[in-house]
Amino acid sequence: MADMSAELSGPQRAAIFLLGLGEAGAAAIMKHMAPREVQRVGEAMACLQDVSNEQIALVVQEFSDKISRVSPIGVGAGDFTRRVMV
């Protein structure tokens, strides 16, 4: 499965993940992205073909691994709180 990771670009990984969330979930995330990021991911979504279950699993596992290493408590908590409160 590690070889498949090299086959996917960042925008392709994001596209696969967002498509898996469905329209409402993807829209909720994309509204926080920069216009250029939305364009790149949108282009990747439009070009995706024959995404295998293994590729989907790889993207989801990679996201899970990365998110489990992030601890928002204490790191930028002040900025996070201000953004959430606004």
Question: For residues 47 and 12, what is the distance between their CA atoms, to the nearest angstrom?
Answer: 9
What was the pLDDT predicted at 71? 64
Residue 10 confidence (pLDDT): 93
56 touches 16 (CB < 8 A) = yes
Burial of 86 (0-12, 13-18, 19+ CB in 10 A): exposed
From first to last of its 86 residues, the chain has per-residue pLDDT tens of 455 556 889 999 999 999 888 899 999 999 999 999 999 999 999 999 888 888 888 998 998 888 877 766 656 667 777 788 87
Say what the pLDDT of residue 59 is.
92
